[in-house]
Amino acid sequence: MLIGGAIFVSLFVLHQAVIEPFMLKKQRLERSLQRRAEAVLEMKLLQKQYAKIRGNERDAMERLQRRDPGFELFSFIDSQVSAQRLRDRVSSMKPGEAQSGDGITQSRIDMKIDSILLGQLVDFLVAIESFEHVVYVDRIVVRSSSSSGGEDGLLDVLATVSTFELDGAR
């Protein structure tokens, strides 16, 4: 019985001093390995997203380089306003620029359109957003027209239309 107790105590001490720390260290290493594997997967996903963004950037740069060197955002928007017969609805068009860096300047037009129908607004937005010319609506606020009280479906619109220009292309 004494020998059995000694063996039990010896096994218990062996378990506590050697086996238990070994198992705990193994579990920590497995968790660490799992976290690193997840981090590698996340990095691969980020790498794919980055490659896609770089591809989109190259595509946009190619479109900017192919665009007519005389392209001006203000003239483009003005011609679309005329084509959509909205000249009497546009109460202001204010040009602005913000330097983006890397040889690219962002140009924008802040515009206010008063008392326009939803269908007219949609047609105008389709006309001005141009993949080919790299023109997009950056910001838009649509409200019921203050002149009509919103009862006849007319809308007032504040919009910022933007594009990018290569600094040497002006």
List the domain boundaries for the chain.
1-66, 73-169
Note the pLDDT of residue 96.
83
- For 33, the 3-state DSSP assignment is helix
| Record: fold of 73-169 | Alpha-Beta Plaits (3.30.70)
Note the pLDDT of residue 149.
60
Q: What is the pLDDT of residues 5-36, one digit of tens each?
A: 778 777 777 777 777 888 888 899 999 999 99
pLDDT of 150 above 80:
no
pTM: 0.65
